[in-house]
Amino acid sequence: MTQRAPILIFDLDGTLADTAHDLIATLNVLLAREGLPSVAPSAARSLVGAGARALIERGFALEGAPLAAERVDSLVQAFLAHYEAHIADESRLFPGALEALDHFAETGFRLAVCTNKPERLARLLLEKLGAADRFAAICGRGTFPMHKPDPRTLALTIEAADGDPLRAVMVGDSKTDIDTARNAGAPVVAVDFGYTEIPVAEFAPDRLISHFDELWEAARALLPPSAFIRT
């Protein structure tokens, strides 16, 4: 039986792509409609990373206008409609991300995305950033009945990409990503440039990197040598 390929599974927002400006800009559109002040992009670390609903709730609370639950539902729909139309106005892949993806692919790795961003928006963003074709699977909220940190989300993403669960590494920027990997029994590399208010190092990832140039050595430290021998 042919052995499945080793695999890297990436979070999206704050890991592969710097999306905070477009997310905050969309939040500010909603705030302006309510006559509230804008949120500064510098607030991204404390607001972004837990999905549209949490972003809206946190943003309105920050401006002294906490929302009732029933209001959030309609605002989420308005948020998603505006965000989809402006999803890559300023969003970019982080430095070195594309080169790292290509390096691993050339060595025989499968690549996948496992995000809590809605799958449709995740695909759209990666298409606009010219990276969608690098991934054997792009899985987001709505792809499966569950989402991160449920370990089944990671396991099903690996399966969808036809990767080897015994030679898999999760790459993320948050406690949610680290918990997902831990719950699934997979090693995890964290990037320290993402959107977590608490420094991600405090959640004890297996490896911590500050640039995608460091991902190769981090993965080599976590996977068996066979993962780096193309067959």
For every residue of 155-177, DSSP letters joined together read HHHHHHTTEEEEEEEEEESSHHH
Burial label, 217 (beta-carbon count in 10 A; 0-12, 13-18, 19+): exposed
Structure tokens at 142: 């709505």
- The catalytic residue among 11, 13, 22, 164 is 11
Question: 11 catalytic, yes or no?
Answer: yes
Question: Which among 161, 190, 162 has a CA at the least distance from the CA of 174?
Answer: 190
Q: How many helices (H) and strands (E) does the chain have?
A: 9, 8
Please state the length of the chain: 231
Residue positions annotated with a catalytic role: 11
